[in-house]
Structure 1
Amino acid sequence: MSRYIENYFGIHNNNHTRIEVVPNRSKENEVLSHYLSIGVKIVPIWDLMPSNSTSLVMPDVLMDAIKKYLEEHDEQIVIKGLSEYFLLIDGERINKTINALKEQIEMQKMKCIFLIHSDFSNITKFNNPKYSNSLQYVELSGIHETLYSPTIIVLPSEYVQGPGHLSCYNQLLKKMYDDNGCQEYGESRDYRLSIPQEEFHQKGVNGNIVYVDEPEKIAKIEFGFEMKLPEDLLIMLLNKCHEEKKTIGEILSKKIDVDNIPLANILKELIDHTNDPLWDAMVWFVKQKIDKNTFLHYVIEQGITKENVLHQYIVDCSLDVLDDIDIKSISDERSNSLKHITSNISPMIKEFISRSKDKENAIFMLNNGFEDEKIELVRRLRGYDLFSGIPSEYASYFPELNYYVASFDYGTEELTQYFKEYRIYKLKNTVTSDFAKKALEMKVPNNISSRDEEIAKYRNEKNSCLLVVDGMGAEYLPYLLQIFRMMNYNIEKSAVVSVKLPTSTEFNSINWNNERIQEIKNVDNIAHNGVVKNETNVPEQNIVNILLNTFNRDLLGRIASNIANYSKIIVTSDHGTSRLAVIANEMGLSKRLPFEHEPKDWRFTVEVEGEPMPEGMEKRYDPDRDETYWVVRGYNRLPKQGGKKNELHGGASLEERLVPFIVISGKGSSQTKKINAPQIKEKDDFDI
């Protein structure tokens, strides 16, 4: 029968050894308070075990420990925590414990009161009324509250230690008891106990204790995710945790702090740590921490190694996602990450381009500023109506395209329209029959100055420098003005000026002090040989090289080197070139002029005495050579053997005859003053 606690404590109990069964923690606390008030000592069961015990004490050893304590302390005690102990041992050991207690009750030699929760009353074997009548076994009344069922995860202390881990059974039993006092009965709770692996799989414990010694499972418990990593790597990582007394997350965060670095920097961090033996664990860690909707997460999910991570990121996985609805955000993330990569990734960029030529959405991936990407952008422009403007993505990824086709007043409406069409057809790598006809018929307007007359105005200014870009035609004037303004150069004058026929360097020598003249020959070299001599050069490669390398790098670099030394820098050319003359020939929109002799060039020849000049040519007398030349107009050509694949010059088309003339006078913001006057004189050491 159960007894009310207030009645029970009013009865004198002479029994030295007894069991008191409590229905809940509240009643247990009342019992403990009562005994403390009358001077009875409370002894936790974990204090009776060897300190820092990494194996659970079995009942026989526990009873011996109680006896020893009582021999050393001749006093009445109450033992608490026995129910938590029962939660860890199997049924057989619980029975052994109860039998030992029953034996002690019969003997009445121990001055010890054992508190037990009523969950275990059905196995206490005190059904005989004599035990309850004699108050040797007392069940206290109250609402029964079931003890929680804990799960004890036991991990190897060789791998796992640190905050959140208990290191011995003494700590475990105390923690269980304390938790039992601060939460509702019936709630479950998990504990992590780190002990040496040699103590694993102890006999006598129950199923609440789960031993985990497989590295993958240990890692999952520690971090909350499955770690699909080689076992040797997991062991290395767990050893690192033990060595530094940190968790897996703390170890990996120290190597790559994913929570505190921008997404754009993570790829670089992985690249920089490829020599780290824990690299694969770092990759796994990154995957767990970053947003699953990111491109980097997708790349990692496909599988990466130290060797192929960049190729996967730049090529293979980029090809995979081209049809993704979020391709724009993916490409932005990719670009932001690649900005931080210092290793040579140009070959991978080229491979991506070559494998995505037929993919429309690949345009979004050409946003990293590589020259090969800009070449591909120009190639793709062929499919657009550029007369309505450069598409926004192209202009964003390659702003120089907008500079090249920018609206610009060339002095007359006809000339302005001519060069607008010329630049667009050049980008599209095509020409129409109407434009070919226009190139044949249009002449240099009368208000266009000659280069030689313009350059004569500055020839005697000793503090002026002349930069001659061989082969640079008037098509580039808007582009040059734009990049000069971006450099905050004061543009004193700008104009389109004409050169001499034939439009080759040998006929356009410049009269200037040799010490103050510099030349850049790349445009003319490309016209003759392409970007790389003796190799097939696609036209868009030539365009990009001229804009980025000849102008942005070489020309601006030359000006920057001289701007402090001269009050004026004059930029002009010996002649222009025609890309459309080559295209027209390839498209069958030009013809070979009838000529029975071996011409000097495809675009001009020496006059043949006694014979009429073929139709579609212009005559020009050269007093320096005392010779008259016939120069081809438009895009026709003379029947010379061989051919030019890139651009032509020597003829009388407007793009060959007209060149820029720009005067820069230091830094400033003054407005450009346009002139309609002649051009410069010439230096006789330019080659063709």
Structure 2
Amino acid sequence: MNLDDTKKRVQKYLNSNKRYPLIVDVQTKEDLANIAEYFKVGSNNFPSIEEFCNQDEAIKLDELYAFVSSNNGNTFITGLSGFLMLFGENVAKQALKTLITTSISGHVVIITYQCEKYLRFTDARISESGRLVIVDGNPDNICNINFISPMLSDIFTDSYSGIQKIGTAIDSCFNRDAYIATAIDKSSFAESVFHISQVNNSYDILRNKDSRTGIVPQACGLPEQWNYVLHQMGKSGTWTTVIVDNFGSENNLLHVISEYPKFDVEKRWLYYVALLICGVKNNDYLKLALNKTSKSSELIKNIFRAVLDIDWKSENYQKLYRQRKGLISELKKPLPETIDFCKILSIKGEDEIYYLTDLTQPEKEKIIKWLSNYGVKYSKDELVSILMNVYPDLAYYLSSYRYRNEFLNTYFENYKYQKITNRILPSFDKVVEEQAIKRDFVTILKSRTAYVDKLDTQNAQVFFVDAMGVEYLSFIQQKCSEYGLSANISCARCELPSLTVFNKEFVDVLKDKGCPISDIKDLDDIKHHGKDSFDYEKEKTPIYLIKELEIIDDLLTKIKASILAGSYNKAIIISDHGASRLAVLHETENIWNMETKGEHSGRCCKISEIDDKPDFAIEESGYWILANYDRFRGSRRANVEVHGGASMEEVAVPIIEITQKASNIEAFIVDESRVLTLGAKEYAIIKIYVGIRSNNISIKLDGNYYNAEETAEPYIYSVELKNYSKKGKFSIDILDGGSVLASGQQFEIEKKGMSQNNMFDF
């Protein structure tokens, strides 16, 4: 029967005096809705099928039967089909037979949906009596039934709350799936004609939506965390949807780790799961850390610690070490994990140095302490090699700087080695005692004034760095090269005693030249006051060196920015005096009782008439000044480093002219030096051209360095090679400080008389 005839048939039934229910079975939800809407007029009653159910319980058929049998008016019942199908075919047939054969007082129209096969009664009289109408039409799709846990109802916003809603769902849900939020297990409906999917948690739904979910064990997340993902995924999404929305793309996960510290707990967990889902690309170390991680809260800890499972001597260690360092750098210095890592790293003993980086203060301090414990077992060059990988700035500090004097080269190499290994070697102590008598610094180093007077201060800015000795020159030179700066360095000596009050003469000279001066006292504050808990009485290792290098680096970074910005063309770094760590380590008072008390941690004291000159002391400016590592009595011990005395490290001071490094600096051997003809007892002196003015020009020949001196001709430098007098061809490199300006420059030595003799060689 078509739809219009069905409506006429129903209306005719309502107008009749027949006292049995009429069942109308439709094939589509649209027809069902059409019929129901057509008859929702006047006094026609449409009770909710849920009136015969308790919350989250199936329909009570006995109550329905009783309601139908006692009905007096015109009543339409919908929503029954879903329950009948849920109970199964046998129950459906019996229930429909019971209803259609019930005697009633009024009129009851029961509209069913695709129940024709349950209406094929064996008693033909039922159909022949006109109690059954089958509406024509092509059956539409009955939705799939999915039972979900009630806790998932907020994720499935179109879900039906409770099993009592199944009738409404079957009759009116046009989606492919209908989700019923119920606490009832599908096993309660073993005879159901529906294939019921049971989803008790979001994880199961996610696995159905995207099979990659199975890569991650369910135990990796709490129920509410899987809910969180499902909510973000939506109805038609996949893991790709979630990852793109949260992290940009599946291929971007490695770089997203830089944002990890800003993530809340849920997003950190999601990031961990995303790594498992997508795998780690282009970072073997993160993959290693991820494989060790069973829950998201361990990810960062394992990024720090996975390296401990790798032998530092293994072939791929350096690659993994660099990848780990890159990851930790992205994490913006997570302090708690760093501290924990440094604590557990002690299991590596002497090998711990190879697992450290320079990314965080605790690690840098651990490196300094390792040097105190184990550094003396290694040569200076071995330490530089190790540190160049784990703490390059400290390697720069320890590296050699050529002072244009072999004694200074050796002295400061040994001084820095002992400073970072936190000890005084007897051989060096002997050198200091000898120098306290010989005082070679007077002849080796010119006075600071000799250099300051000649400084070109046009468009220059001066930085007066209090207490910066020449020990930092290798660090400064390498940093300048790194920053694209050129450093023209001179080494001078300060006035005695090595105190600021006696060493500020250059301030007035530079001011008279119209040069602005900035005072930087950060280094001096550290050395005097034990700033940041560096006090020697509390901390015996020189961890303060970390801060010293940072202060200098910050200054060089500022200079670079200002020169590039055009604020000035040149920066001049100048110091009043140096300072000594070894004098603090020495911890000795001398035997002399002086009339006046020691000053400046005992490195000097004022002269009185009754005082005799102590051993190793210099008289200057009304003071006795100690040139060895003793201290006069009566003064407090030094906090970190000390000055006021006349040790080489206290006396030697730098004057550094910093400019932007010129590109393509031309350097070569001048023509007149390409072939040298030497007589007996003569040695080679070569001249080179270098297109800049610098105090740091040298050549490298057969692995040795030779200083170049300026000549009267601008940009022409002369190099004496006293060990080269024999015939031969030689190749040199020309350098400005640590930068090679030209390689493979060749010259030849010939001997007088040899060219004539060669004419008779056959």
Q: Distance in 2 between matches of 1:565 and 1:266?
A: 38
Corresponding residue to 1:598 among 587, 596, 599: 596
Corresponding residue number in structure 2 for 1:287? 276
- The 1:161–1:248 alpha-carbon spacing in structure 2 relative to 1, beyond 3 Å, is farther
Q: Is the 8 A contact 2:289 2:303 kept in 1?
A: no
Corresponding residue number in structure 1 for 2:528? 528
Structure 1 residue 483 corresponds to structure 2 residue 479:
yes
Structure 1 residue 414 corresponds to structure 2 residue 407:
yes
Q: Distance in 1 between matches of 2:556 and 2:594?
A: 43
Corresponding residue number in structure 1 for 2:576? 574
Structure 1 residue 448 corresponds to structure 2 residue 445:
yes
Q: Is the 8 A contact 2:463 2:520 kept in 1?
A: yes
Structure 1 residue 652 corresponds to structure 2 residue 649:
no
User: Quick one: which amino acid aligns to residue 242 of structure 2?
Assistant: L
Q: Distance in 2 between matches of 1:59 and 1:469?
A: 95
User: Quick one: which amino acid aligns to residue 635 of structure 1?
Assistant: Y
Q: Distance in 2 between matches of 1:666 and 1:250?
A: 49
Q: Is the 8 A contact 1:531 1:537 kept in 2?
A: no
Corresponding residue number in structure 1 for 2:9? none
- The 1:234–1:411 alpha-carbon spacing in structure 2 relative to 1, beyond 3 Å, is closer
User: How many pairs does the alignment contain?
Assistant: 507
Bigger CA drift: 527-536 or 196-205? 196-205
Corresponding residue number in structure 1 for 2:46? none
Q: Is the 8 A contact 1:350 1:372 kept in 2?
A: yes
Q: Is the 8 A contact 1:404 1:479 kept in 2?
A: yes
SS across alignment from 1:518: strand
SS across alignment from 1:612: coil
Q: Distance in 2 between matches of 1:479 and 1:618?
A: 31
SS across alignment from 1:651: coil
Q: Distance in 1 between matches of 2:527 and 2:595?
A: 26
- The 1:552–1:369 alpha-carbon spacing in structure 2 relative to 1, beyond 3 Å, is same
- The 1:420–1:273 alpha-carbon spacing in structure 2 relative to 1, beyond 3 Å, is closer
User: Quick one: which amino acid aligns to residue 642 of structure 2?
Assistant: L
Corresponding residue number in structure 2 for 1:545? 547
SS across alignment from 2:383: coil
Q: Distance in 2 between matches of 1:270 and 1:463?
A: 46
Structure 1 residue 353 corresponds to structure 2 residue 342:
yes
Q: Is the 8 A contact 1:408 1:416 kept in 2?
A: yes
SS across alignment from 2:634: coil
Q: Is the 8 A contact 2:627 2:647 kept in 1?
A: yes
Corresponding residue number in structure 1 for 2:371? 381
Q: Is the 8 A contact 1:495 1:676 kept in 2?
A: no
For residue 160 of structure 1, report the CA deviation from its aligned partner: 7.7
Structure 1 residue 502 corresponds to structure 2 residue 497:
yes
Corresponding residue number in structure 1 for 2:113? none
For residue 281 of structure 1, report the CA deviation from its aligned partner: 5.4
Corresponding residue number in structure 2 for 1:474? 470
Q: Distance in 1 between matches of 2:467 and 2:653?
A: 9
- The 1:236–1:654 alpha-carbon spacing in structure 2 relative to 1, beyond 3 Å, is closer
Q: Distance in 1 between matches of 2:425 and 2:499?
A: 26
State the Cα deviation string for residues 274-299 of structure 1 (Å, max 9, x = none): 276x7655644443443598255257
For residue 643 of structure 1, report the CA deviation from its aligned partner: 0.5
Q: Distance in 1 between matches of 2:389 and 2:145?
A: 57
For residue 489 of structure 1, report the CA deviation from its aligned partner: 2.8
User: Quick one: which amino acid aligns to residue 547 of structure 2?
Assistant: N
Q: Is the 8 A contact 1:295 1:333 kept in 2?
A: no
- The 1:253–1:155 alpha-carbon spacing in structure 2 relative to 1, beyond 3 Å, is farther
Corresponding residue number in structure 2 for 1:90? none
Q: Is the 8 A contact 2:563 2:660 kept in 1?
A: no
SS across alignment from 1:439: helix
For residue 359 of structure 1, report the CA deviation from its aligned partner: 3.8
Q: Is the 8 A contact 1:603 1:631 kept in 2?
A: yes
Q: Is the 8 A contact 2:592 2:614 kept in 1?
A: yes
- RMSD (Å), alpha carbons: 4.7
User: Quick one: which amino acid aligns to residue 593 of structure 2?
Assistant: F
State the Cα deviation string for residues 1-33 of structure 1 (Å, max 9, x = none): xxxxxxxxxxxxxxxxxxxxxxxxxxxxxxxxx
Q: Distance in 1 between matches of 2:661 and 2:427?
A: 43
For residue 455 of structure 1, report the CA deviation from its aligned partner: 0.8
SS across alignment from 1:570: strand
Corresponding residue number in structure 2 for 1:424? 417
Corresponding residue number in structure 1 for 2:431? 438
Corresponding residue number in structure 2 for 1:673? 695
Question: How does 1:311-326 map onto structure 2 within 5 Å?
Answer: 312-315=298-301, 318-319=304-305, 322-324=308-310
Q: Distance in 2 between matches of 1:49 and 1:204?
A: 25
Q: Is the 8 A contact 1:467 1:572 kept in 2?
A: yes
User: Quick one: which amino acid aligns to residue 548 of structure 1?
Assistant: E
Q: Is the 8 A contact 2:582 2:629 kept in 1?
A: yes
Q: Is the 8 A contact 2:293 2:302 kept in 1?
A: no
Question: How does 1:80-95 map onto structure 2 within 5 Å?
Answer: none
Corresponding residue number in structure 2 for 1:110? none
- The 1:463–1:265 alpha-carbon spacing in structure 2 relative to 1, beyond 3 Å, is closer
For residue 319 of structure 1, report the CA deviation from its aligned partner: 4.8
Q: Is the 8 A contact 1:474 1:496 kept in 2?
A: yes
Corresponding residue number in structure 2 for 1:557? 558
Corresponding residue number in structure 1 for 2:607? 607
Corresponding residue to 2:198 among 212, 228, 241: 212
State the Cα deviation string for residues 74-131 of structure 1 (Å, max 9, x = none): xxxxxxxxxxxxxxxxxxxx9x99998xxxxxxxxxxxxxxxxxxxxxxxxxxxxxxx
Structure 1 unmatched ranges of 5 or more:
1-46, 65-93, 101-151, 163-167, 169-191, 305-311, 678-688
Structure 1 residue 265 corresponds to structure 2 residue 255:
yes
Q: Is the 8 A contact 2:290 2:299 kept in 1?
A: no
For residue 676 of structure 1, report the CA deviation from its aligned partner: 9.2
Corresponding residue number in structure 2 for 1:227? 218
For residue 363 of structure 1, report the CA deviation from its aligned partner: 4.2
For residue 438 of structure 1, report the CA deviation from its aligned partner: 0.6
- The 1:239–1:280 alpha-carbon spacing in structure 2 relative to 1, beyond 3 Å, is same
State the Cα deviation string for residues 611-659 of structure 1 (Å, max 9, x = none): 4311121222x3xxxx3x2211121121123201311111111111111
Q: Is the 8 A contact 1:501 1:650 kept in 2?
A: yes
TM-score (norm 2): 0.56
SS across alignment from 1:246: coil
State the Cα deviation string for residues 429-474 of structure 1 (Å, max 9, x = none): 1111111111121233524211111112238x56444322111112
For residue 547 of structure 1, report the CA deviation from its aligned partner: 0.9
User: Quick one: which amino acid aligns to residue 452 of structure 1?
Assistant: T
Q: What percent of counterpart residues are identical?
A: 20
Q: Is the 8 A contact 2:304 2:337 kept in 1?
A: no
- The 1:317–1:457 alpha-carbon spacing in structure 2 relative to 1, beyond 3 Å, is closer
Q: Distance in 1 between matches of 2:472 and 2:534?
A: 26
State the Cα deviation string for residues 49-88 of structure 1 (Å, max 9, x = none): 6579978696689999xxxxxxxxxxxxxxxxxxxxxxxx
Q: Is the 8 A contact 1:436 1:584 kept in 2?
A: no
Q: Distance in 2 between matches of 1:484 and 1:239?
A: 54
Q: Is the 8 A contact 2:618 2:626 kept in 1?
A: yes
Indicate the structure whose relative CO is greater, using CA pairs within 8 Å and at least 6 residues apart: 1
Q: Is the 8 A contact 2:464 2:575 kept in 1?
A: yes
User: Quick one: which amino acid aligns to residue 554 of structure 2?
Assistant: R
- The 1:561–1:414 alpha-carbon spacing in structure 2 relative to 1, beyond 3 Å, is same
SS across alignment from 1:523: helix
User: Quick one: which amino acid aligns to residue 488 of structure 1?
Assistant: G
- The 1:272–1:645 alpha-carbon spacing in structure 2 relative to 1, beyond 3 Å, is closer
- The 1:471–1:397 alpha-carbon spacing in structure 2 relative to 1, beyond 3 Å, is same
User: Quick one: which amino acid aligns to residue 672 of structure 1?
Assistant: S
SS across alignment from 1:540: coil
